[in-house]
């Protein structure tokens, strides 16, 4: 599907597997990889064969963040008044945060964290919907140890996912968080043996693909992320409107019929019925 010197994407069953492949620098991002990732995700969203997208790394790391040469350039630009925020020149209609486009992808995005996820690699994993983690993998935010602040939406995202004090702990200390602690904190959703990581993702996605409506998945994802910024009454009212739309859609009738007839459902592909 996609194969560059920095990233490979392929369709395997219901999955699009996107593999970061700069193992010699622990899959640190450069401009080419950032652009290739966006193109690969967009292609996977448009492909009806794909139920979910998984992002993982080649070699012993998931992603060590932004390449140090880009960080140095951003720091130099900041010192000269150029600003060190999202100064990579890439267009981001979702705002300046790296990988925020993953929150808007209507398909599940799963980070298969196979090794160290640091800095921008940590951001990538947290912008994914779920995190499956190898038992020997780890997380670190890194920012404070580089003299930087919480970046790319992490000061907004982490407190909502983990709670305020846990978010402050991880952002202040930039300490390494192993897989067991990551599961306990809620950073990871599943732990697996290192050699079973992608197999566990496949089992999870295959089960959903056989039983769950793609339109329902896309709508629920939009609800969850949109409603973070709304009060309860507004979120409830929005959900009621979406439920009325769902009840009028052929997927609802098919869901009921398949239950009564005790057979697997045959829901419509997402491309036929974007929410």
DSSP state at residue 231: -
Per-residue pLDDT tens digits for 9-56: 999 999 999 999 999 999 999 989 999 999 999 999 999 999 999 999
Q: How many residues does this entry show for the chain?
A: 275
Report the 10 Å Cβ neighbour count for 230: 13
Q: Which CATH class is domain 213-272?
A: mainly alpha
**Domain coordinates in residue numbering, the chain:** 2-208, 213-272
Of 158, 265, 175, the residue nearest 216 (C-alpha): 265
The pLDDT tens digits of the residues spanning 66-92 come to 887 776 666 666 654 443 344 455 556
The CATH code of the domain at 2-208 is 3.90.226.10
pLDDT in tens, 198-254: 999 999 999 999 999 999 999 999 999 999 888 899 999 989 998 998 888 999 888
CA-CA distance, 46 to 59, in Å (whole number)?
A: 28
Q: Which residues contact 195 (CB under 8 A, 6 or more apart)?
A: none
Query: Which of residues 60 and 271 earns the better pLDDT score?
Result: 60
The H or E element containing residue 256 is helix 250-261
Q: How far apart are CA 53 and CA 127, in angstroms?
A: 13
């Amino acid at each position: 599907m996609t194969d560059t010197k920095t990233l490979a994407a392929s369709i395997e069953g219901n999955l699009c597997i996107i593999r970061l492949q700069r193992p010699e620098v622990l899959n640190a991002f450069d401009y080419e990889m950032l652009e290739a990732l966006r193109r690969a995700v967009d292609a996977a969203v448009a492909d009806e064969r794909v139920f979910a997208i998984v992002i993982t790394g080649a070699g012993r790391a998931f992603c060590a963040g932004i390449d140090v040469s880009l960080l140095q350039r951003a720091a130099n630009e900041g010192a000269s008044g150029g600003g060190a925020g999202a100064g990579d020149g890439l267009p981001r209609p979702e705002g300046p945060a790296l990988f925020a486009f993953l929150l808007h992808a209507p398909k599940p995005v799963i980070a298969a964290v196979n090794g160290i996820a640091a800095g921008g690699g940590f951001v990538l994993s947290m912008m994914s919907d779920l995190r499956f983690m190898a038992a020997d993998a780890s997380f670190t935010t890194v920012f404070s140890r580089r003299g930087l602040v919480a970046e790319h939406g992490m000061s907004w995202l982490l407190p909502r996912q983990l709670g305020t004090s846990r978010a402050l702990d991880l952002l202040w200390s930039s300490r390494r968080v192993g897989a067991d602690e990551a599961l306990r904190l809620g950073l990871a959703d599943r732990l697996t043996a290192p050699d079973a990581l992608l197999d566990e993702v496949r089992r999870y996605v295959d089960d959903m693909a056989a039983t769950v409506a793609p339109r329902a998945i896309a709508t629920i994802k939009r609800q969850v992320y949109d409603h973070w910024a709304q009060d309860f009454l507004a979120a409830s009212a929005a959900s009621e409107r979406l439920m009325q739309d769902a009840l009028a859609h052929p997927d609802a009738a098919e869901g009921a019929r398949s239950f009564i007839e005790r057979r697997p459902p045959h829901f419509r592909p997402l491309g036929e019925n974007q929410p």
